[in-house]
Chains A and B, each alone.
Chain A
Amino acid sequence: MTDIYLSDERATDPEIAAVNAALSAAGADPADPVVILETDRLYTSGTARRRQRRHFLLPALHALQNTAGWISPGGVNYVAEMLGVPPAEIFGVASFYDLLHTEAPDHLDDVFHVCVDSPCRIEGANDLADRLRAEGKHVHLGPCLGQCERAPALFVQGCGGRPDYVPADSAATGATAKAATGATTAQASDSATTQAPDSASTKASTEQPFLLPQAPNKSLRLLRRIGVVDPCSLDSYIAHGGYTALHRAAEIGAEAVLESVAASGLSGRGGAAFPTGVKWRAVAAESAQPEQSEQPKRSKQSKHVVANCDESEPGTFKDRIVMQHDPFALIESMTIAALSTGATQGWIYIRGEYPLATTRLQNAIKSARAAGLLGTNIADTQHQFDIVVRRGAGAYICGEETALFNSLEGFRGEPRNKPPFPTTHGLFGEPTAINNPETLLNVIDIVNEGADAYRSRGTERSPGTKLFCVSGRIGHAGLYETPFGITLGELIDLAGGVTGSGQLQAVLMGGAAGSFVGPDSLGLPLTLEDTRAAGTTLGSGVVMVFDTSVDMTDVVVRIAEFFRHESCGQCVPCRVGAVRQHETLVQMQHRGRLSPQRRALIDDMAEVMADASICGLGHTAASAVRSALSLGLISQAPISPGLISQASIS
């Protein structure tokens, strides 16, 4: 029985079972569909029920994709019936995401996703893809997979009910000593044939400790438990100081926490560097239940804390490592955010290419719930808070906070116009504190040791420590934590110096949305204020190193292609501008030169994208390109067509 127009196709039994299981896991009762047949004379349904179910759409689509290798028409019809979402809307949502396919596949094998962004493309991504193809694997070349420290990166999307996995993680959890070192670049090819793990999370307790490139030392704050704590054990987390901050927060109260966070000067680590204290204060000031008198039909029901774990800025992998190896820290810090803002619902939106982090977070939530650290009476505070984990499905744009809301709510991941801001109109239109995991982790120290102690690290205007994702032609690619203020040169030295030719050509700061700096910037102190003054950005902490042997034209054209591929298509400047920019650069690559008119055109396009796009993607889609042009990184000599074809992904 359905309320919407459906075609004749029907879902298969495995599809139905998978969707039902996914709905159950996501908290929806498949036995309680949007239309309830109470008797043949009484049905219950309605707009409110439909709205309440829409956010189950993405989990249901994941289940369909995983079962049949695509979002089949029959599957769409079944989900439409269960959730009350019209098929055209489901199709619109499904076709938005890279990990969901709306055309029937010609096979039911797992799909091997190979990253072709930098640094993977300069570390043998094409060779890896060729090897996999030679093994008979179905290969999909795609954007950054968040494993840049072990480039070239590989992610396996399961089909026929087999789980998704990352061979490098499986190798690590499978106790291979070599993989566990974490920083080698050769391991991916070794692990290409690795089979899917039975269950990554249950094996974690016995795995070799993960080693950061930095030896454990006192300056590690956010990373101090990485490789030390058992990521699957709440007891282990508590034994290593976990949950002291939550108890302290409960003791000192919301107001004191808000004051400390504001006083600490903590700013957002996802890239925008917005003051966390201001954000939390704004959410705390919102009433969850406004007076019923004005508009009784509408009322904001609750407030939300969202962890933006859709880490997909090319070159960024910090959150993955934290979530995989210290998941309880994220749960604890989100709970503190909830206590201090009065939020009752927590959401983790994690990118779909992070299966191990997903299972570990789910496990951590379960353990915390069992221990009364999530639920209706958190740590005896009478406060109610629980967390739901939702997987993205392959869309860079969903890291933009309002696009993330739309995606999580079951709509296309298109950004919303701001204002209004998430603090008042966030998830489900309700007040929302949305933070990057790294940002949240800082709160634990701030609560534990106070704002003054926190500010003792870093600089006056950039207090605290920063995670840096160092990758590319570097001695030891990996995740580094230092106080703000370390210079770029010091960081590169800390990471083992430039490899390849040994001569630095450029560093990409902040990822594809960031900008290139040249060797003359090695003295640049890595703080918010210094990078801003220098016309570049720290962004999410990407420090991607290119030696002089790298063809930077290829790197830059790929960045343009990345934006062309990832533009959501909503606004004209970005939808068309990203295409025109890429076309212009490809033509430049063909001709080996860029005429003054073309160069002017690039600037024209960059300006409109930065000025008139809806969101940060469009605003920044030209910044790396322009910085590369102004640094003279782009080759003006013709290159062979073979390289061009390699540069293009299908």
Chain B
Amino acid sequence: MFGAGGGTSSYLEVQEADVILLWGSNAREAHPIFFHHVLKALDSGSRMYAIDPRRTSSAKFADRWLGISVGTDIALANAMGREIIAAGLHDRDFIARATTGFEKYKAHVEVCTLDYAAQVTGVPAEAVRDMAHAYASAPTAQILWTLGITEHHNAVDNVVSLCNLALLTGHVGRRGSGLCPLRGQNNVQGGGDMGAIPNRFPGFQDLTDPTIRAKFEAVYRTQLNSVPGKHLTLMFEAMAAGELRACYVIGENPADSEADVAHARKLMADLDILVVQDIFMTRTAEMADVVLPASLAWAESDGTVTSSERRVQRVRAAVPPPGQARHDIDIIAELARRLGFDWGHPSAEDLWEELRSLSPMHGGMSWERLEASGGLQWPCTSEDDPGTEFLHDWLWADDLRGHAPAPFSITHHVPPAEQLSEEFPLRLTTGRALDSYNTGVQSRGYVSPIRYGDAIDVSPVDAATLGVVDGERVLVSSPRGSVEMDVRIQPDIPAGLTFTTFHFPELVDANVLTNDEWDRRSGTSEFKAAAIRITKLNSENSENSENGSKRPTNQASQANQDLERSREHAPA
């Protein structure tokens, strides 16, 4: 909605926010050091609302936790918008100067009353009203989100619903106020910035713009394809349609990480050729025809990565890569040579200098400056530009400095694609644990005393209904498949909801369960909302899994003991 994709604010600014909406994010575990800045804010008197189906460890620091039903974010956001307008708390001057489409938005959300929100989200109307008023009345306020917003079939609508709130209240484009998606990987921001998006060149420059294409073609000395490519999810669709027959996977483990992973594996197995370039022999690499061992991007190679606050920072080689592993740049250059293009042996610095000659928002970031500083935040257009702390200050200029006003968006609440049913009555959502990471290929390398493995969190109410105890091995099934998991009775999730991490695919193939329904604009799958059922296993048949758990929860240890005892007394 505002152009380039990046968090509008710097981490430090969250300390200045009077009100923080932490929406669909368990930053305490998934972004712990960013959360330190949030904690500083709370210590200095900021108020925080956590919007999350689970009462996460982050939500426990909040002044209020609103446990919305999975996938009802738009209903909540629109109801907040309606309440803010109805209470006259919207920023009329800001709206008039810097936005378009307010009247349409206002008319659209008119039906989204507090009662409607309560009915859809499951959160009391009073709490929605309280949050709306707090957000709108705060001198500064930020909305922070992560995958709880984006791993849905309507990810983009979710995001723009939150943007609407910022436009309504003027909580964007100024110090302390903003909209901040927290990135899940250390260079997911940088990947997009560098053009690893189907329709963009580096610096979010439009692939279809002939002038821009010509600029790149001149430097790349080749003709570039003007047709946007496919994002990951479309690639799998293309595989399914038989259109995509060869795949070169760099640093990704889709054979574990894709939603409805069994289906994804089958599609990859059917490819004509699969090339995998990785630092690990992942499950995807095991399926590959060719494996190109790469050096670690962060400890065995030089380069840059870009963080969630648009900060470009240097990574540096500290140790030599093992065996035949090579720098990604070397591998690609070598591949090019064998395909008939001699690119020489460019260094990371060479490539960076080329990049910044092509991407205006990186233009001022010389290698020397990156080397010397703790990083620079884009846009940074000239070498005397200190970088940009927060984006979109033009929204507050009388003439908008030539920008087009920011549009309100019309969004509709559409429930998760997979509805609960008698057969699959429980909602499954997924997320990260503090000490582990994604499919665990990195985080399994160390012994964490706080690791508990991929258990399925079940509310005490549901556990009682199911007749399962803490630590019990159960069968978890979704319309796509079944896995065995250990139950962890978790008082922090409401009845009807279950939760699991996905860090131990070798032990629990959790993504067998998740739904690959995806957002047509972002390509993200709906990891956050599957429908499942839990069935008891015959305890004699189940094997007690060893998930490397060093510290079971209190209840778990008790339950484990109970279980042990019951086994001891079970007839042989």
- Residue positions of A touching B, CB distance < 8 A: 1, 3, 6-8, 38-49, 296-298
Ranked nearest first, the 3 interchain pairs of A and B with the lowest CB-CB distance are A46-B63, A297-B45, A41-B67
Tell me, rounded to whole Å, the shortest Cβ–Cβ distance linking B114 to chain A.
Answer: 13
Are the C-beta atoms of B44 and A3 separated by less than 8 Å?
Answer: no
- Apart from A42-B123, A45-B63, A296-B18, 19 more pairs, CB < 8 Å: A6-B554, A39-B123, A41-B124, A42-B64, A42-B65, A42-B67, A42-B127, A43-B55, A43-B64, A43-B65, A45-B60, A45-B62, A45-B65, A46-B62, A46-B63, A296-B139, A297-B18, A297-B46, A298-B44
The docked-state distance in angstroms from the alpha carbon of A41 to that of B18 is 24
- Check: B558 CB closer than 8 A to any chain A CB: yes
Nearest A residue to B496 via CB reads A40
**Across the interface, do A42 and B62 meet the contact criterion of CB distance under 8 Å?**
no
When C-beta atoms are compared, the residue in chain B nearest to A38 turns out to be B124
Residue from B18, B43, B55, B68 with most neighbouring chain A CB atoms (10 Å): B55
Bound-state CA distance A389–B101 (Å) is: 60
Q: Which residues of A contact B63 (CB under 8 A)?
A: 44-49
Question: B405 at interface (Cβ–Cβ under 8 A)?
Answer: no
Please give, as numbers and ranges, the residues of chain A lying within 8 Å of B44 by CB-CB distance.
297-298
**Contact A41 B494, CB 8 Å, known A8-B557, A46-B42:** yes
**Complex CA distance for A3 and B58, rounded to whole angstroms:** 10
Q: Is B291 an interface residue (CB 8 A)?
A: no
A39 to B558, CA, bound (A): 27
Q: In the complex the two chains form, is B42's CB within 8 Å of A41's CB? A: no
Contacts of A49 in B (CB 8 A): 63
Q: Which residues of A contact B18 (CB under 8 A)?
A: 296-297
| CB–CB B45/A38 < 8 A | no
* B494 surroundings in chain A (CB, below 8 A): 40-41
The listed residue with most B CB atoms (<10 A of its CB), out of A6, A40, A44, is A40
Within the complex, what minimum Cβ distance (angstroms) separates B554 from chain A? 5
A298 touches B45 (CB 8 A): yes
Q: Which of B35-91 contact A (CB under 8 A)?
A: 42-48, 55, 59-68
Contacts of B67 in A (CB 8 A): 40-43
B497 to chain A, nearest CB (A): 10
Name B residues whose Cβ lies closer than 8 Å to a Cβ of A. 18, 42-48, 55, 59-68, 121-124, 127, 139, 491-492, 494-495, 554, 557-558
> Is B495 within 8 A of A40, CB to CB?
yes
How far does the Cβ of A38 sit from chain B's closest Cβ, in whole Å?
7
Assembly CA distance A3 to B495 (angstroms): 19
Q: A48 — which chain B residues lie within 8 A by C-beta?
A: 45, 47, 63
* Contacting residues, chain A, for B123 (C-beta < 8 A): 39, 41-42
Q: Give, as a whole number of angstroms, the nearest-CB distance from B403 to chain A.
A: 30
Task: Give chain A's interface secondary structure class.
Answer: loop
Residues of B within 8 A of A42 (CB): 64-67, 123-124, 127
**What is the chain B residue whose CB lies nearest that of A10?**
B554
Say how far A329's CB is from chain B's closest CB, in angstroms. 39
Q: Which of chain A's residues have a CB closer than 8 A to the CB of B61?
A: 46-47
Q: Please measure, in the bound complex, the distance between the C-alpha atom of A48 and the C-alpha atom of B44, giving whole angstroms.
A: 10
- A40, B495: Cα distance in complex, Å: 8
Contact (A47, B64) CB under 8 Å given A40-B494, A41-B124: no
B127 neighbours in A (Cβ, 8 Å): 38, 42
Q: Which residues of B contact A6 (CB under 8 A)?
A: 554
Closest to A40 in B: B494
- What is the CA–CA distance of A569 and B68 in the complex, to the nearest angstrom? 49
| Bound CA span A330–B121, Å | 56
* Distance from B112 Cβ to chain A, minimum over Cβ atoms (Å): 18
Give the CA-CA distance A155 to B137 in the complex, in Å. Answer: 56
Which residues does chain A contribute within 8 Å of B139, judged by CB atoms? Answer: 296
Q: List 18 A-B contacts (CB under 8 A).
A: A1-B492, A40-B495, A41-B68, A41-B124, A42-B65, A42-B67, A42-B124, A43-B59, A43-B64, A45-B63, A45-B64, A46-B48, A46-B62, A47-B42, A47-B63, A48-B45, A296-B139, A297-B44
Q: Which residues of B contact A38 (CB under 8 A)?
A: 124, 127
CB distance from A344 to the nearest CB of B (A): 20
Residues of B within 8 A of A7 (CB): 554
Q: Are B554 and A46 in contact (CB under 8 A)?
A: no
Chain B residues within an 8 Å CB radius of A39 = 123-124
The docked-state distance in angstroms from the alpha carbon of A597 to that of B187 is 66
Question: B62: nearest residue on chain A (CB-CB)?
Answer: A46
Q: For the complex, what is the distance from the CA of A7 to the CA of B65, rounded to whole Å?
A: 24
Cβ-closest chain A residue relative to B17: A297
The docked-state distance in angstroms from the alpha carbon of A6 to that of B43 is 23
* Minimal beta-carbon separation of A212 from chain B (angstroms): 51
Chain A residues, CB < 8 A from B48? 46
Q: Is the CB of B47 within 8 A of A46?
A: yes
In the complex the two chains form, what is the Cα distance from A43 to B127 in whole Å?
Answer: 10
Q: Complex formed: what's the CA distance from A44 to B60 in Å?
A: 9
Neighbouring B residues of A41 by C-beta, 8 Å: 66-68, 121-124, 494
Bound CA–CA A43/B62 (angstroms) = 9
A48–B494 alpha-carbon span in the complex (Å): 25
Shortest beta-carbon distance from B14 to chain A in Å: 12
How far is it, in angstroms, between the C-alpha of A40 and the C-alpha of B65 when the chains are bound? 10
Q: Which residues of A contact B495 (CB under 8 A)?
A: 40
Chain A residues positioned under 8 Å from B554 (CB to CB): 6-8
Q: Let me know if A3 and B60 touch, CB within 8 A.
A: yes
Q: CA A8 – CA B559 in complex, angstroms? A: 12
* List of A residues within 8 angstroms of B45 by Cβ: 47-48, 297-298
Chain B nearest CB from A86 CB (Å) reads 12
CB distance from A324 to the nearest CB of B (A): 42
| Nearest-Cβ distance from residue B286 to partner chain A, whole angstroms | 39
Closest to A39 in B: B124
Closest approach, in angstroms, between the C-beta of A85 and any C-beta of chain B? 14
Q: Does the CB pair A47–B43 fall under 8 Å?
A: yes
**Distance (whole angstroms) from the CB of A188 to the closest CB of chain B:** 49
Task: Determine which of B64, B68, B121, B492 lies in contact with A46 in the assembled complex, contact meaning CB atoms within 8 Å.
Answer: B64
> Which residues of A lie under 8 Å from residue B64 when comparing CB positions?
42-46
Q: Which residue of chain B has its CB nearest to the CB of A84? A: B60
What is the chain A residue whose CB lies nearest that of B139? A296
CB-CB under 8 A from B491, the residues of chain A are: 1
A236 to B62, CA, bound (A): 52
Quote the shortest CB–CB distance from A41 to chain B (angstroms).
4
Nearest CB of B to A72, in Å? 17
Most buried by A among B46, B65, B122, B494: B65
Separation of A44 and B59 alpha carbons in the complex (Å): 10
List, in ascending order, chain A residues with CB within 8 A of B124's CB. 38-39, 41-42
Shortest distance from the beta carbon of B127 to any chain A beta carbon, whole Å: 5
Which A residues are CB-close (under 8 A) to B122? 41
Q: Which residue of B lies closest to A9 (CB)?
A: B554
Q: Please, how many angstroms separate the alpha-carbon atoms of A39 and B63 in the complex?
A: 15
A222 to nearest B CB, angstroms? Answer: 43
Complex alpha-carbon distance, A3 and B121, angstroms: 24
Looking at A6, A7, A41, A45, the one whose CB has the most chain B CB atoms below 10 A away is A41
Give A3 Cβ to nearest chain B Cβ, in Å.
Answer: 4
A3 to B55 Cα, complex, angstroms: 10
- In the assembly, what is the distance between CA of A39 and CA of B557, in Å? 28
Closest to B53 in A: A41
* Residues of A with C-beta under 8 A to B66: 41-42
CA distance A298 to B46 in the complex (A): 9
Q: Closest approach, in angstroms, between the C-beta of B241 and any C-beta of chain A? A: 42
Residues of A within 8 Å of B557, CB to CB, are: 8
Q: How far does the alpha carbon of A39 sit from the alpha carbon of B121 in the complex, in Å?
A: 13
- Least CB separation from A44: chain B residue: B64
